[in-house]
């Protein structure tokens, strides 16, 4: 997703600069073209040679070799991220001060500027700094909020530079078009658990990878994303609100609460079809034989199909046979706008294959990652529904 994209990374004089070396390395590894722009004081923390080696490009910090460096770098970059950004530098940019190559380039850059502050908690919370942050946000600058943790001064609080994963996620976000801007997307993922007793349960092998991938891409496309997740093993997407549930009934209640405000609803969760008709309040003792009577769980997707109004409703069908036929029948029976049909082998795996089915067509697909699959699915939703 970053292959060939032009990323300009601005580095200011903070101890968190060491993390940016890993960022540059990861961006380069993902195929991006990376140029690094440093303030004079940043060079006291990490020398240019480090970033030149990692980026494969010359590092910029003054105008000695190019009197128009601020203009040329601003025109070259598709994304400009400043990380770490000291409170000094963010205040200069907020006030329109261009006293070095980095701040001057920020003033010359016409795209979406990403700023990731890192500072002592008291400094960051200073009213003057908060006022400058507000000014930047009002101008469309994206502030990647710092994280909570132990800081270089050995105090604990908000001020740590955002993780490399979050920084890369925001870079990708800045590169994507925003056809889903203003849309609310509700996604379920993971497996539900139906308890036999306090420690034993019925569940499945869902990792949540597909649902979390859909959440990442929907956010990149501009949507406001809500995720209702059961048990998952996949890495959670950053910058997305996730509500955790355990049982099918808990998921049902949470989804019904969020459903009226949603524009697109993607029901990817591997919901248990059955639950014990009785749950023991105490841990059952081991015995030769245990007979558990099961009853059907609520069909959340079918219930949503009956009450939907403006919502685009998308379901998933996991089948071991007659994949397309069974998925089509499910789409009609549950009043879905689109269904993704997958063979059982896709559960818990990294790659993803199957069929995307609407009333008009059946599209077979196969991708090496579920992130690629998520991009394909959402692009088809946007195309099919004219968003």
Same fold, 6-175 and 184-384: yes
Task: Tell me which of 1, 97, 142, 153 is the catalytic residue.
Answer: 153
> What does the pLDDT read at residue 253?
97
**Do 305 and 224 touch, CB atoms closer than 8 A?**
no
Domain map (residue ranges) of the chain: 6-175, 184-384
Tell me how far apart the terminal alpha carbons of the chain are, to the nearest angstrom: 22
> What does the pLDDT read at residue 17?
93
- Strand-pair category, 362-367 with 6-11: unpaired
CA distance 89 to 102: 9
DSSP-based three-state secondary structure for 272:
coil
Assigned architecture for domain 6-175: 3-Layer(aba) Sandwich (3.40)
CB neighbours of residue 284 within 10 Å? 13
Beta-bridged to residue 6, according to DSSP, are 33
Q: What is the DSSP letter of 212?
A: H
CA distance 385 to 383: 6
> What does the pLDDT read at residue 343?
85
> What does the pLDDT read at residue 154?
65
Token reading at 155: 């105090």
> What does the pLDDT read at residue 211?
96
- The CATH class given to the 184-384 domain equals alpha beta
> What does the pLDDT read at residue 323?
86
189 is catalytic: no
**Do 196 and 284 touch, CB atoms closer than 8 A?**
yes
Mean pLDDT (10-residue bins), the chain, 387 residues: 95 93 97 97 93 96 93 97 97 96 97 94 92 96 87 69 96 96 97 93 91 97 97 94 96 97 96 92 88 93 96 90 89 95 75 89 92 95 85
């Amino acid at each position: 997703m970053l292959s060939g994209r032009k990323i300009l990374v601005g580095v200011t004089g903070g101890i968190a600069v060491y993390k940016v070396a890993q960022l540059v390395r990861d961006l380069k590894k993902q195929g991006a073209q990376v140029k690094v722009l440093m303030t004079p004081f940043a060079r006291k923390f990490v020398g240019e040679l480090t970033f030149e080696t990692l980026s494969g490009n010359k590092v910029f910090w003054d105008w000695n070799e190019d009197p128009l460096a601020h203009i040329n770098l601003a025109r070259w970059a598709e994304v400009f991220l400043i990380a770490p950004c000291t409170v000094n530098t963010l205040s200069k940019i907020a006030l329109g001060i261009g006293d070095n190559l980095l701040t001057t380039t920020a003033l010359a850059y016409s795209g979406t500027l990403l700023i990731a502050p890192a500072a002592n908690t008291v400094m960051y919370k200073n009213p003057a700094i908060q006022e400058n942050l507000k000014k930047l946000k009002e101008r469309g600058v994206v502030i990647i909020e710092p994280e909570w943790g132990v800081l270089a001064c050995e105090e604990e609080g908000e001020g740590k530079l955002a993780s490399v994963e979050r920084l890369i996620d925001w870079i990708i976000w800045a590169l994507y078009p925003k056809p889903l801007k203003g849309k609310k997307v509700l996604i379920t993922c993971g497996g539900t658990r139906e308890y036999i007793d306090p420690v034993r349960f019925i569940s499945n092998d869902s990792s949540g990878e597909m649902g979390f991938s859909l959440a990442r891409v929907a956010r990149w496309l501009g949507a406001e994303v809500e995720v209702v997740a059961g048990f998952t093993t996949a890495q959670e997407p950053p910058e997305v609100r996730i509500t955790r549930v355990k049982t099918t009934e808990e998921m049902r209640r949470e989804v019904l609460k969020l459903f009226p405000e949603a524009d697109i609803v993607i029901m990817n969760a591997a919901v248990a079809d059955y639950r014990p008709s009785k749950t023991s309040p105490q841990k059952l003792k081991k015995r030769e034989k245990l007979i558990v009577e099961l009853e059907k769980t609520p069909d959340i997707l079918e219930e949503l199909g009956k009450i939907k109004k403006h919502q685009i409703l998308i379901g998933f069908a996991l089948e071991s046979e007659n994949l397309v036929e069974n998925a089509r029948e499910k789409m009609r029976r549950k009043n879905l706008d689109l269904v993704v049909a997958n063979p059982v082998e896709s559960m818990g795996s990294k790659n993803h294959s199957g069929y995307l089915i609407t009333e008009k067509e059946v599209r077979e697909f196969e991708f090496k990652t579920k992130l690629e699959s998520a991009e394909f699915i959402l692009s088809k939703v946007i195309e099919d529904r004219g968003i």
